[in-house]
Structure 1
Amino acid sequence: MPSSAAYLVPALAVGVPVGIYALFLGLVSIPYIQRFAVYAHKVNTLWWPPHNPNRPERWGFAKNQVTPFPLQTLDHHTLYAWHILPLGIYTRNEEALSAQDRSVTNGFVPDITTTLNFKLLRHDPEARLVLYFHGNAGHITQSIRPRSFHALTSVSSKIHVLAIDYRGFGLSTGSPTEEGLILDARAAVDWATKVARVPAERIVLLGHSLGTAVAAAAGEHYCCSTHRFGCSASDNGSGTENGSDEDHVSSTMGRREPLEFAGILLVAGFSSLPTMLSSYAIAGWLPVLRPLSFWPWLLGKVMSRIVDKWPSADRLTRLTKSAKTDGKKLNLTLIHARNDWDIPYCEDDKLFKGAVKGLVEAELGIGTVYGDGRDYEYEGGERVREEEEQEVERCVENLLSKEKGKRTVERWMGDGTSRKERDRAAVTTWEDEGVCIRQELWPYGGHNNLMFYAPVPMAVMRAFGLVEQTESTRY
């Protein structure tokens, strides 16, 4: 007879990992813990004095090239922000800029409008401004962020950068939520357009990783003429009680003249948080929800517990649809690396499809206006909605299968002799009246490096019209 140990060892070998995984799923179903894991905002190096962001010179910036300052949100949070001067403008004004004394406030500037840096942005009719929305974890100076700031501000003497730490990140107050981060993006756009008075046509919204969801939401908010300010999270997304300032701000209805930004640039984006997490693996090898794919009903239950949805593909649908319907210009660029170990590049295809879907909906004259189902609050409305959605899906699939290849330029990187998929770079340009959707898939660059390699700075230059889009500048 086999001993009990013969059964115990295999049972433990299977039971312990399953139990740990079940405990993990239970913990992350709690909104506070889930947001702590998703945003990773407490994973930073602020405890280490050399990483004090009020000393930008430690990351290779010239003295007073960077101005750390506070931004106020509509719900009364304070965000930590950097305004970074382009290197060319700094060089021409180096003596006056470096002479500014910031020792009293240890480098932090409570009122940026008193600085020469601010005046060089506000009073220059040629100034361009990149609103930089970073990914999760860390703070404004961690990881590749300083290098990407250098790349953007050295490529042209006209390009300024405004970067923010979202609420709960770095030295910013509060805790991150979907609605909260959208309010943070609005604070950045409002500061740029109302305080610095930079016209929207001289502003690019640049998002990386998590920041792509923030930039897409900001683009939807400002570029759609009719929009319900809010998002679809199971607990209203704000983490606040009903009647609070944030809940009031986020549920406001309004109609305004849509803005036309120089461009919206999404790097290493994802279609929605639940969809991305269903196939996500930490560091590219430790799956999060992928094991549940064998039990679709269980996967659906777990995905329904994700409180911050970040439906970027749906937001791009409404964005492109509104632009085409209103006859507005929209320049949308999607960039992804095929060897991205964090967010797979197939997510970029979903974003591209969502953007094209908006053009189809506008052409067919169907779909929701507000995106929250209120247009279907009549008898049989849900059935009509499903039929319209199916019709649009068929049209989009047929259109992409017939047209996307015709609108794509390919090039194999390396020595040029390899024809393997992993070496293929592709640029797809989809233009429809004033709407231009551009997708760039690069074979290399991983999750982070495209931010300071040529693709992103060149895409920013292209959006601002500082380089001519010719065959030689497509790569």
Structure 2
Amino acid sequence: MTSSAAYLVPALAVGVPVGIYALFLGLVSIPYIQRFAVYSHKINTLWWPPHNPNRPERWGFAKNQVTPFPLHTLDHQTLYAWHILPLGLYIRHESALAAQDRSSTDGGGGFVPDITTTVNFQLLRDDPEARLVLYFHGNAGHITQSIRPRSFHALTSVSSKIHVLAIDYRGFGLSTGSPTEQGLILDARAAVDWATQVACIPPERIVLLGHSLGTAVAAATAAEYCCTSEAEAGCCSSDDGTEPNRDGDDDHETRVTTKPMEFAGIILVAAFSSLPTMLSGYAIAGWIPVLRPLSYWPWLLGKIISRIVDKWPSAERLTRLTRSAKTAGRRLNLTLIHARDDWDIPYHEDDELFKGAVRGLVQADLGVGNEYETGEQENEDDDERERIRREEEREVESCVESLLEKEKGKKTVERWMGDVKKESERAFVTTWEDGEVCIRQELWPHGGHNHLMYYALVPMAVIRAFGLAD
């Protein structure tokens, strides 16, 4: 008995955690459970009455400064949205704004079914100097959870011209539906279309701002509206090239942009290059590994990664975005902001995004990439086309690595945020300009995963994108 116990205890000590981990891997291979874990959209505080988002005053906003209202997507989902007035503008029109009676509206005293009837909407639509930030938040929670209200305050306090439109994606908060990659892209399209077609704000007065998961949404949206052709946009197709299930509804087919938009800026805060890449090294709270243990068995890691249903290939989308802008000579202002002490998404993911953006510029210079996406080589057989594609990829990658090694350091300014020049206090700002394309990367020593959103860094990036800085 003593001998059996001596083996049983170690076996249980090893076997139980391994069994639980294997069960976890099996469960997250199921698309429904996987999406529940990735988006965490049901983790929220809506069950607690004080967190009713229809009463924005509870988060420090002035009476009727915020208008909660519905947005409708092309596939017939209803999104919950906030339009937030800049504080300076609110103060100038406080009497008219506060006098609006919303006590009889739906949703508990603040929700407005038709925002076009409000003074708030008129102040946005009728002001030729108005700027609009489309805010795409991260996973989990809803529009008023975590740091989101503080970041709204920060954005609307720096200028009397900057409005904010924030949405809860499908399945989040009070929005209908369930989240998927294609679904969230349609949600972002609903926000852009409302801003440009209903509020009549031209793209050059709009900034796309994404945080965490929202950076993937913003990158996909930018490629959707800013690329030359449907094939280049590629946003409504997954990483493996498959098209989403349209359920027979032609109303929300892939958007073809005949005249690409030029947004004032695209700002990605705490971004990741792609979901499979990020998850392969991800650790919850920075210390509970998810897929990292599988790195010892690359074949098994590859199998698990292949079962990730929503890819969110942001680095590839930035490549298409910068290539299209450079080729067409269009203006593109892209800013990447990350904290080096981010425990959730490591800052080296930001380097991969920067590299992806530069790769697009190199592809444009070499004249590669576009012909395969637009089908210009369809007369060649598959093997020959694949061989040429791989040769071009190797050539481009070699050029990108060489270019970054030679030039990035020259374009980077280092700063120390403390009194002592320690590595932990060092910040980097890289500005890469090529024609009308400007890529700016900011790596800051502090801020973690969330706090950068209400530090001065993000509002100042917005100010810079809008050209409002002195």
State the TM-score, normalized to the length of structure 1.
0.95
Aligned residues: 462
Question: 1: CA distance between counterparts of 2:377 and 2:317?
Answer: 17
Offset of 1:243 from its aligned partner? 3.5
* 2:398 corresponds to: 394
Greater alpha carbon shift after TM alignment, 202-211 vs 1-10: 1-10
Residue number in structure 2 paired with 1:280: 282
Choose from 224, 232, 238 the match for 1:232: 238
Structure 1 residues 120 and 343: CA distance shift in structure 2, 3 A: same
Residue 42 of structure 2 aligns to a residue whose secondary structure is: coil
Question: Are residue 290 (structure 1) and residue 292 (structure 2) matched?
Answer: yes
Sort the Cα spacing of 1:187 and 1:294 in 2 relative to 1 into closer, same or farther, 3 A: same
User: Is the CA contact 1:226–1:370 (under 8 Å) kept in the aligned structure 2?
Assistant: no
Q: Which runs of 5+ in 2 are unaligned?
A: none
- Decide whether the 8 Å contact of 1:84 with 1:153 is kept in 2: yes
Partner letter of residue 406 of structure 1? K
For residue 86 of structure 1, what is the aligned residue in structure 2?
A: 86
The 1:381/1:162 distance shift into structure 2, 3 A limit, reads same
Query: Which residue number corresponds to residue 414 of structure 1?
Result: 418
Q: Which SS does the other structure have where 1:254 is aligned?
A: coil
Match of 1:473 in 2: none
- Match runs of 1:182-193 below 5 Å: 182-193=185-196
The letter of the residue matching 1:193 is T
Deviation of the 1:256 alpha carbon = 1.1
Aligned to 1:472: none
Deviations 1:399-456 (A, max 9, x none): 00000000000001111x2232x21101000000000000000000000011000110
AA of the residue aligned to 2:458: V
Which residue identity does 1:444 align to in structure 2?
H
For 2:248, the equivalent position in structure 1 comes to 244
Matches within 5 A, 1:260-271: 260-271=262-273
Structure 1 418/325 Cα, relative in aligned 2: closer, same or farther at 3 Å?
same
Contact 1:429 1:436 (C-alpha < 8 Å) held by counterparts = yes
Contact persistence 1:68–1:82 (CA under 8 A) = yes
**Is residue 153 of structure 2 the alignment partner of residue 150 of structure 1?**
yes
* Cα separation, 1, equivalents of 2:89 and 2:286: 41
In the aligned structure 2, how far is the partner of 1:368 from the partner of 1:311? 18
- Find runs of 4+ consecutive structure 1 residues off by over 6 angstroms: none
- Report if the CA contact (8 A) 1:235-1:307 is conserved: no
Q: 1:385 is matched with which residue?
A: 389
Check 1:253–1:49 CA distance in 2 against 1; reply closer, same or farther (3 A cut). Answer: closer
Match of residue 365 from structure 1:
367
For 1:63-462, what aligned pairs fall within 5 Å after superposition? 63-105=63-105, 106-228=109-231, 229-232=235-238, 238=244, 240=245, 243-245=247-249, 248=250, 251-252=253-254, 254-368=256-370, 371=373, 375=377, 378-379=380-381, 380-415=384-419, 417-420=420-423, 422-462=424-464
Per the alignment, do residues 99 and 253 of structure 1 end up closer, same or farther by CA in structure 2, a change over 3 Å counting?
A: closer
State the SS of the aligned residue for 1:3. helix
What is the percentage of aligned positions where both structures have the same residue? 77
Q: CA RMSD in A?
A: 1.6
The change in CA–CA distance for 1:373 and 1:455 in structure 2 (over 3 A counts) is: farther
1:230 deviates by 1.2
Deviation of the 1:234 alpha carbon: 6.7
Q: Structure 1 pair 377/269, CA: closer, same or farther in 2 (3 Å)?
A: farther
SS of 2:330's equivalent in the other structure is: coil
How far does residue 378 in structure 1 lie from its aligned partner after superposition?
2.9
Aligned mates of 1:418, 1:145 — CA distance in 2 = 33
- 1:370 and 1:166 map into 2 onto residues whose CA distance is 33
**Is the 8 Å Cα contact of residues 178 and 231 (structure 1) preserved in structure 2?**
no
1:362 shift after superposition: 0.1
The CA distance in 2 between the partners of 1:360 and 1:264, in whole Å, is 20
String of CA shifts for 1:345-371, please: whole Å, max 9, x gaps: 000000000000000000000014575
Deviates more, 1:310-319 or 1:371-380: 371-380
- Are the counterparts in 2 of residues 179 and 237 from structure 1 also a CA contact under 8 Å? no
Query: After superposition, where does 1:46-61 map in structure 2 within 5 Å?
Result: 46-61=46-61
Name the SS of the counterpart of 2:256 in structure 1: strand
Indicate the SS of the match to 1:24. helix
CA distance in 1, matches of 2:19, 2:442: 42
Q: Distance in 2 between matches of 1:32 and 1:320?
A: 34
1:215 and 1:377 mapped to 2: Cα distance? 35
Provide the C-alpha distance between the structure 2 equivalents of 1:90 and 1:33, rounded to a whole number of angstroms. 43
Q: What is the distance in 1 between the residues matched to 2:5 and 2:156?
A: 65
Q: Which whole-Å CA distance do the structure 2 matches of 1:99 and 1:306 have between them?
A: 50
- C-alpha separation in 1, matches of 2:294 and 2:316: 24
CA contact (8 A) 2:74 2:252 kept: no
Residue 284 of structure 2 aligns with an amino acid whose one-letter code is: I
What whole-Å deviation, never above 9, does each CA across 1:171-208 have from its counterpart, x for those lacking one? Answer: 00000000000000000000000000001000000000
Give the conservation status (yes or no) of the 8 Å contact 1:313–1:351. Answer: yes
Aligned residues of 2:75 and 2:252 also touching (Cα < 8 A): no
- For residues 231 and 262 of structure 1, the distance between their equivalents in structure 2, rounded to whole angstroms, comes to 25
Please give the alpha-carbon distance, in whole angstroms, between the structure 2 residues aligned to 1:403 and 1:225: 28
**Matched-pair contact (CA < 8 Å) for 1:237–1:307:** no
- Aligned CA distance change for structure 1 residues 48 and 373 (closer, same or farther; 3 Å): farther
Q: Distance in 1 between matches of 2:372 and 2:95?
A: 52
1:178–1:237 contact (8 Å) kept in structure 2: no
CA distance in 2, matches of 1:373, 1:303: 29
